[in-house]
Amino acid sequence: MTEAEKIKVHFKPDNVEIVVDRGENLLEAAIAAGVRIYASCGGSGTCGTCKVTLEKGEVETTRTNKVSDEEFSQGVRQACQSRVLSDLTVYVPVESRLEKAVISRERERVSESLATGWRFRPPLTKYFIELPPPTMKDNTSDLSRLLRGLKKRYSLSNMSVEFSVVRKLAKALRDGDWKVTVTTLVTAAQPGAKGRHEPKLINVEPGDTRGRHYSLAFDIGTTTVCGQLLDLNRGRVIADAIEFNQQISFGQDVISRIAYCQKPGGLEKLQQAVLNSINTVIDELLKKKKVNIEDIGHLMLAGNTTMTQILFGLDPVHIRMAPYTPVANFFPPVRASSLGINVAEHVHIFAFPAVSSYVGGDISSGVVGAGIYQRPELTLFLDIGTNGEIVIGNSEWLATASCSAGPAFEGGGIKHGMVATIGAIEGFRIDPSTWEPSVTTIGGAKPRGISGSGLINIIAALLRAGAISQNGKFNPDLPTERIRPGTDGYEYVLCRAPETQTGKDIVLTEVDIDNLMRAKGAIYAGCQTLTTSVGIRSTAEFNQVIIAGAFGSHLDIDASITIGLLPDLPREKFIFIGNGSLLGARMTSFSTDLLDDARRVAQMMTNFELSDSVDFMNNYVAALFLPHTHAAEFPTITKELSRLQKQRARQGG
Amino acid sequence: MALDIPKTRYTGSIKQVKLGGGDKAVTIGGETAYPFYLFEGQMPNLPKIAMEVYDSPPQDWAEAALEPFAGVTGDPVAWAKKCIDDYGAEMICLQLASTDPNGADRGADEAAALVKKLADAISVPLIVWGTANHEKDTEVFRTVAEVCQGKRLVIGPVEEGDHKKIGAAALGYKHTVSASTPIDINLAKQLNILLGNLGIPDDMLVMDPTVSGIGYGIEYCYSVMERMRMAALTQQDERLQFPIICNIAKEVWKTKEVKIPESEDPKMGDIKKRGILTEAMSAAVLLLAGADVLVMRHPEAIRLVREILAEMTAA
């Protein structure tokens, strides 16, 4: 067998180079070189987001309709569809790049933790103890001496001991001159189980280290990995960090990730990708506060079922196939270092319990953090992203459902859509007499694309101005050049080429509007179907609506109600909690009571499958309208739209 | 103790729509109860039957359907007059089949001239039906609407994809719009809202839910129409309170079951009787579901349906 020919690939503007075998896929080469390319479909060639320009060299490419003749002649190729044949220089244009820094933006009106009544009592505890040195009269073993001392001094009994502690014990006791600090960990009690938690002795250190007592809370999202460094002595978050989940280059949603896991070596690659992201976040957290890695004692994480399984190296294949079974809802604690997370050997991971394949630990975490299970008032909890997760209930019962909204809210399937980073259009206003827009972007940069929340704001404003009708179609008769025929029906020009980062017009097309209507229709129909499934007459009966999720926290309530994404309730009923998944992970790191609740809550939630519900399909078609086919569902919006229409008619006539 | 018969609580009624003009004008709709629930409410206007006339001689019709119109199928005006004079048609539905761009692709001006000629020749209301090709229907109906100003035609199918342009033409020249959607209650309602937003008055709108005949999913059509009436009459769903038109003839007569000769499949029985009964029974089902106008073809089937109507509404 001859060795494969080696090819050099140079990526611009990063100016990094990698040597690969001839025939290697260009997208895989870019990922290997650390060049981050946006590939929302996971390399199947269907999304057209991974376009690159060949400056030198040759590739063999499978052409799809995502590359126009003009682009092709200019050397534009889809990285995922190209195999390298000769030494290459490839330029990655701005619209295909995944920004390195994700910006963490907090909403001003984010309510901190809504769960109440819990005691500050972290599951991870440090005890300092001074032991009598052994003598000929008292030469009991080191371990017995330690356990005896702990029982006497702290009334700790029934403890189990990790073997790694035994290994370190003799040296630690003598190095510390019989003064040591031990770390114990409790895991969630079985619901209904009587008796106390049984702590596990997981670490021993010489001397008094109680002053250095930290743990980590993580949200493992499909798009981003967010981490927090917690000071367990003070009960406070001392550092935050966020990174893209590196799996994003293998597909944007859970389904494409699961599909990728079916390729040879796919699961290992995805597991490694998320581990890299976690390790990067840990590095950043520790650097920010100059905390030593040995002083981290625990890791609490929450993620959806697929993310959790991939992190643990468990093939998620059955999540995707009927009857949709996860490997486990409640994972036993795992040693973090055994997975490849850069923390000390004694650190365990506690993953938030899941409810079903599509209602994961991120949701039970949000429900615990928001305290829905503690209050008698009827609450609607919504986590909106690629998947819409819905929980309704109160202290008596909890019902959940999940509906696939598609990637539109994260910019997928939208001609100029993008994730919410610098340069994404978010704010939008339109002059109702000239139809001229004014846009604002995240970070105030030159526009590069449209964020999910921007899309909602734009469509709401166009609807109010009468530029689109209730079926999401443009009114081409308006006297403006902003509305023009394009390749996907009519389109509205948001920014002209000279004003943009990409040097091309940024437009919103009728197909984009259709995709957004499907996404919002799925979420609203999901809420409606779950609501009526549990015997509640309408969404008007909710006392409170809690919006979780990074996407959710940047939603404009009025715009979201205008397009029919959120129910038309008094605006003060809406509460934002930001990243609910991270919130729950943090709070359970502080309170063993909440940790117990987490397990109880996950078991308390009844999951409703919407995929085979006739009502859901019916509600979905009814929701494919702006704001909705049934005007009575959106009374204030209907009134406002008809007022605006009359006003226009008066001015026009 | 007297028995209290439970009654449906109605909160709405179907809007009345007047079709055509003069003394042969027809009013449809106005129901205040479910179809034929005369013990609970009124049907002030009994369902009407429109007879089909084609703008060109039919090529693939069953013998049984051609027979009653022998000698007139080449002349739409004579055909329509035969329907009215011999078979008592209350309305005529002109099918503009020859404008189909995938067929004869007859031009808009020619089609409009024919519609005008026919509208001038008859005094019963005239329904004009296109080919559901959005571009072509738009072109044809814009001309038809203008040329036939004052004739108060019913124009259809008006679908989501062409509702703006055809709707605007109908509105400008005062014709009634038949809103056509693929058998779905929500889609029907959405189009009614859009046409309302366009300014089409409620008494100039009828809806065509897209129906099929027996053996081709009529149960589904029935249940969608039934739900439309439930929403309109008991759930205050104003945008569904419109009369329903059912274009049933062409659905029935194009099926294999009415065309296959008895010699080829003896167990199918007499071909003529078979076609007539399929049309009549399909029409009867749609009446029970809430049809206000039936577009029908065979005079014998029409006679049977009238008999059913008379018996159902006999005091």
Are A629 and B184 in contact (CB < 8 Å)?
no
Across chain A, mean pLDDT equals 89
Q: Do B193 and A624 touch (CB under 8 A)?
A: no
B303 within 8 A of B94, measured Cβ to Cβ: no
Whole-angstrom distance, CA of residue A285 vs CA of residue A292 = 10
- What is the nearest CA distance from A629 to chain B, expressed in angstroms? 6
Domain residue ranges of chain B, discontinuous segments joined by +: 16-309
Structure tokens, A534: 């549990």
Give buried/exposed letters for B260-296 (b at 16+ CB in 10 A, else e): eeeeeeeeeeebbebbbbbbbbbbbbbbbbbbbbbbb
Residue A101 in this model has a pLDDT that exceeds 50: no
Q: Per-residue pLDDT for A2 more than 70?
A: no
User: Considering only residues 596 to 625 of chain A, which have any Cβ-Cβ distance to chain B shorter than 8 Å?
Assistant: 618, 621-622, 624-625
Closest partner residue to A471 (CB to CB) among B184, B190, B237 is B190
Task: Give chain A positions within 8 Å (CB) of B160.
Answer: 471
Distance CA A501, CA A17 (A): 25
Q: Rounded to the nearest 5°, which phi and psi values hold at B174?
A: 60, 55
Mean pLDDT is lowest, of A116-120, A177-181, A606-610, for A116-120
Residue B103 to chain A, least CA–CA distance (Å):
26
**pLDDT for the residue numbered A195:** 55
Asked if pLDDT for residue A102 goes beyond 70, the answer is: no
Dist. CA B42–CA B157, nearest whole Å: 29
**List of residues 6+ apart from A260 with CB closer than 8 A:** A42, A43, A250, A251, A266, A269, A270
- Identity (one letter) of the amino acid at B103? G
Q: Do B186 and A622 touch (CB under 8 A)?
A: yes
Instruction: Give the residue from A469, A470, A438, A466 showing the smallest Cα distance to A454.
Output: A438
Grade residue A194 by pLDDT with cuts at 50, 70 and 90. low
Q: Which of B194, B236, B237 sits opposite A470 (nearest CB)?
A: B194
Average pLDDT over residues A287-316: 95
Dihedral, CA atoms, B295, B301, B307, B311, nearest 10 degrees?
-70
Question: Average pLDDT, stretch A233-239?
Answer: 91
| DSSP states along A224-276 | EEEEEEEETTTTEEEEEEEEE-GGGGG-SSHHHHHHHHTSTTHHHHHHHHHHH
* pLDDT score recorded for residue A68: 83
Pairing mode of beta strands A334-335, A348-351? antiparallel
Q: Using an 8 Å CB-CB cutoff, list chain A residues near B237.
A: 630
Spatial CB neighbours of A642, under 8 Å, sequence gap ≥ 6? none
- pLDDT at site A547: 93
- Cβ contacts (< 8 Å) between A634 and chain B: which residues? none
- Rounded Cα gap, residues A494 and A450, in angstroms: 9
For each of the domains in chain A, give its residue range(s) and CATH number, in order of start. Answer: 6-96 (3.10.20.30), 124-206 (3.10.20.880), 214-364 (3.30.420.480), 406-540+559-579+624-653 (no CATH)
Task: State the pTM of this model.
Answer: 0.83
Can the peptide bond before residue A132 be classed as cis, meaning omega within 30 degrees of 0?
A: no
Interchain contact, B190 vs A630, CB within 8 Å = no
Q: Which residue has the higher pLDDT, A299 or A198?
A: A299
Residue A287: pLDDT above 90? yes
Interface mutation vs chain B, best among A468, A469, A471, A650, most B CBs within 10 Å: A471
Q: Under an 8 A CB cutoff, do A624 and B189 touch? A: no
**Using 50, 70 and 90 to split pLDDT, how confident is the model at A3?**
low
d(CA B252, CA B296): 9
Other residues' Cβ atoms within 10 Å of the Cβ of residue A154: 15
d(CA A559, CA A457): 5
Domain B16-309 sits in CATH at 3.20.20.20
Q: What is the DSSP letter of B244?
A: B
Whole-number Å distance between alpha carbons of A360 and A370:
16
For A430-457, the pLDDT digits (tens) are: 998 889 999 999 888 899 999 999 999 9
Please indicate whether, in this complex, the C-beta atoms of A630 and B237 are within 8 angstroms of each other: yes
Which residue in B185, B186, B230, B234 has the most chain A C-beta atoms within 10 A of its own C-beta, making it the best mutation to test that interface?
Answer: B186
A166-176 per-position pLDDT tens digit: 999 999 999 99
pLDDT of residue A1: 45
Cα(B214)–Cα(B276) distance, integer angstroms: 12
Q: In chain A, how long is the greatest CA-to-CA distance?
A: 107
Chain B residues in contact with A630 by the CB 8 A cut-off are: 189, 237
Asked if pLDDT for residue A143 goes beyond 60, the answer is yes
Residue of A nearest to B194 (CA): A470
pLDDT digits (tens, 9 = 90+) for B72-130: 999 999 999 999 999 999 999 999 999 999 999 999 999 999 999 999 999 999 999 99
Structure tokens at A211: 């002053």
In Å, how far is B189's CA from the nearest CA of chain A?
A: 7
Per the CB < 8 A criterion, the answer to whether A518 and A353 are in contact is no
Summarised one tens digit per residue, pLDDT across range A575-624 is 888 889 999 999 999 999 899 899 889 989 999 988 888 899 999 999 99
For residue A507, list its beta bridge partners. A493
Q: Which helix (H) or strand (E) holds A21?
A: strand A16-21
A622/chain B closest Cα distance in angstroms: 5
Segment among A44-58, A189-203, A287-301, A430-444 with least mean pLDDT: A189-203
CA distance A31 to chain B (A): 44
Percent of chain A surpassing pLDDT 90 = 61
Count Cβ atoms within 10 A of the Cβ of residue A144 and give its class: 0-12 exposed, 13-18 middle, 19 or more buried.
exposed
In degrees and rounded to multiples of 5, residue A374 shows phi and psi of: -100, -15
Task: From chain B, pick out residues whose CB is under 8 angstroms from the CB of A622.
Answer: 186, 189
Contact check, Cβ <8 Å, B186/A631: no
Would the CB atoms of A624 and B186 count as touching at under 8 Å? Answer: yes
Please write the tens of the pLDDT for every residue from B218-250: 999 999 999 999 999 999 899 999 999 999 999
Q: What is the mean pLDDT of residues A304-317?
A: 95
Mean pLDDT (whole number) for A555-578: 94
Do A270 and A257 form a contact (C-beta atoms < 8 A)? yes
- Tally the residues of chain B: 315
Q: Is B168 on the interface with A (CB under 8 A)?
A: no
Exposed e or buried b for every residue in A321-350, given b needs 16+ CB within 10 A? eeeeebbebebebbbbeeeebbbbebbbbb
Closest CA to B111 of B78, B139, B69: B139
User: Rounded to an integer, what distance in angstroms lies between the CA atom of residue B282 and that of residue B212?
Assistant: 8
Average pLDDT of span A172-181: 96
- pLDDT at residue A550 is higher than 90: no
A237 DSSP β-pair partners: A230
Residue with more model confidence, A462 or A411: A462
Q: Residue A354 — pLDDT band, cuts 50, 70, 90?
A: very high
Q: Is A41 helix (H, G, I), strand (E, B) or coil?
A: coil
Q: Which stretches in chain B have pLDDT values below 70?
A: none
Average pLDDT over residues A319-323: 88
Measured in angstroms, the CA of A531 and the nearest CA of chain B are apart by: 19
User: B194 to chain A, minimum CA–CA distance in Å?
Assistant: 7
| B237 with A624: Cβ contact below 8 A | no
Residues 6+ apart with CB under 8 A from A624: A517, A518, A521, B186, B190
Distance of CA A7 to the CA centre of its chain: 36
Instruction: Mark which residues 174-233 of B lie under 8 Å from A by CB.
Output: 184-187, 189-190, 193-194, 197
Task: Judge: A471–B239 Cβ closer than 8 Å, yes or no.
Answer: no
Q: Which residues of A224-256 are buried (b: 16+ CB within 10 A; e: fewer)?
A: bbbbbbbbbeeeeeebbbbbbbbbbbbbbbbbb
